[in-house]
Structure 1
């Protein structure tokens, strides 16, 4: 008598990673749901970036090569490089570029140095340190428009600054018309800008200072290093990456100067405070030359990109 042997069920071979094929099939829907949930969470931000950043940038790039106007019955036509040829022969643009360069050359070192000094002061444990941190950071959370309006009244002929100068000099120093004099309009805006934004970069410096190990300072003290040598050989090298971030951030903000000028001087007097961004806004909305404003914006984008790349190269970590 012959007996038939039933085929034995082969054990499931584990899939790579230690799971069986059946378990892997059960995990697929769950993994798909997780992916869909992730895409759903980033979708609102992606839509906003696409609608208000990428599409306007692409549209502005295209308009720079046309004769488009904000309101015009004429159809839009391709004009090639005409807007750029006009731009590079426009004395107002070159004056705006000079003003922005002057603003950046003064603001970048002064504001970064002041912010670092403030960070060093509040990087110590003493009673009331949180109060000083709040006071130093308070101008940052105040709207630049509000700050500009406040300083606008302070810079008036009969404003607070002239009153203080007259009081402490016993009338020997006459008050200046700060915002209506081409020699003092830009320095006045520089002083306001440094005061308003120094607290923000103070926080960045403070984060860098607190990332430096305290053991390095203890070793320096044991070696008899003075406070200056501790700063020079411990603090400053430890802030290598922080100072790159601070310098690039301040430079980009300085090149994008607009709010203070729009509120306080409107580019005057005699174009002494006109900036590239203000000129682009004035051309695009007041003069309704959308294509010319787009050309200015495109040139500004290239300038910021080049300056940031050069600055990043000069402050790179060298082997």
Structure 2
């Protein structure tokens, strides 16, 4: 018995030493990435909390602490409330429209028998364009004087129906929504397409035999079984909408006036345009908290919906 215990203890000691040696090697592999992540993510994030309580202009070395003044100014700023309203409008509109268009495109491509990969590529192509390039293209399309839409209306004799999409506060936000839906829908289409291809075809065949039409099959088979794909797509589209920047920067610069200014864009304008880094950092923290709260609520509700379905 003593020999067995000795052998067991020796084996455990060797295993512990081997594990310790392996962990030491693992640390050296992880260390470079951890250092970079700390320098470019963790440190700037922690430093943001520090700067949000200052009046730093982003240039000088003089950093003056002002306590909660930045946050108090936010609570009384109509510009911030307008940016919050625009952010919410964009978020709700993009989540609904991007997912509807993406689901429609996915179902269309899934039914195509010939050139399926070609159609996938065509619908996915806008996703590959950078936000800056896409913004310039659509800014030209929406231009009141020489844009494609205006030129087309002039040619067919309906010039009176021309709209100054980017110069009219009532239509500028709509133009941003149209542009973003065109660019982003192809990405979510791929997610829905993967979900559709994971649905067993036997279910639709059985439903057809039982006399179920296309709408009934979609409502009782396709839609419930796409709950997982829908959760991912809605979350990603919501986070993307809350962080939208490129299209606004290129197409409207937050204008006309403040008609298309969002929380993300006001952080940029205040921090770099008006040299108020302290106030801009405080706004970015509010945006971070907003995204976190919305994401948590979304995950909880959508996961609950998945379980119910």
Q: TM-score, normalised by structure 1?
A: 0.87
1:136/1:199 contact within 8 Å kept: yes
Unaligned regions of 5+ residues in structure 2, if any? none
Structure 2 residue 239 is matched with structure 1 residue 252: yes
Q: CA deviation at 1:109?
A: 0.6
Q: Does 1:161 align with 2:170?
A: no
Q: CA deviation at 1:108?
A: 1.1
Determine the C-alpha separation between the residues in 1 that align with 2:282 and 2:236. 24
CA distance in 1, matches of 2:293, 2:79: 22
In structure 2, the residue matched to 1:205 is 192
Gaps of 5+ in 1: 1-8
CA contact (8 A) 2:57 2:278 kept: yes
1:66 equivalenced with 2:54 (yes/no): yes
Shift in Å, 1:113: 0.3
Structure 1 residue 265 and structure 2 residue 270: aligned?
Answer: no
Query: Could you say if the C-alpha distance between residues 123 and 258 of structure 1 is closer, same or farther in structure 2, counting changes exceeding 3 Å?
Result: same
**Structure 1 match to 2:32:** 44
Question: For residues 269 and 39 of structure 1, do their structure 2 counterparts lie closer, same or farther at Cα, with a shift above 3 Å needed?
Answer: same
SS of 1:60's equivalent in the other structure is: helix
Asked whether the 8 Å contact 1:163–1:175 carries over to 2, the reply is: no
**CA radius of gyration, larger in:** 1
Aligned to 1:279: 266
Match of 1:122 among 99, 102, 109: 109
Q: Could you say what secondary structure the match of 2:259 adopts?
A: coil
Aligned to 1:295: 282
Matches within 5 A, 1:124-143: 124=111, 126-143=113-130
Structure 1 residue 234 and structure 2 residue 209: aligned? no
Q: Is 1:195 matched with 2:151?
A: no
> What is the Cα deviation at residue 51 of structure 1?
1.8
C-alpha separation between the residues in 1 aligned to 2:270 and 2:287? Answer: 14
- The CA deviation at 1:127 is 1.4
Q: What is the TM-score when the length of structure 2 is the normalising length?
A: 0.90
1:220/1:183 Cα in 2 relative to 1: closer, same or farther (>3 Å)?
same
For 2:146 and 2:207, how far apart are their aligned partners in 1?
53
Q: Provide the aligned length of Structure 1 versus Structure 2.
A: 305
Cα deviation 1:16-43 (Å, max 9, x = unaligned): xxxx555555555554454344434433
- Give the counterpart of 1:186 among 173, 189, 193: 173
**Corresponding position of 1:109:** 96
What SS does structure 1 have at the residue aligned with 2:166? helix
* CA deviation string 1:180-200 (max 9, x = no partner): 111221111111000001011
**CA drift at 1:172:** 4.6
More helix by share: 2
Change in CA separation of 1:202 and 1:39 when aligned onto 2, cut-off 3 Å = farther
Question: Which residue of 14, 39, 43 maps to 1:55?
Answer: 43
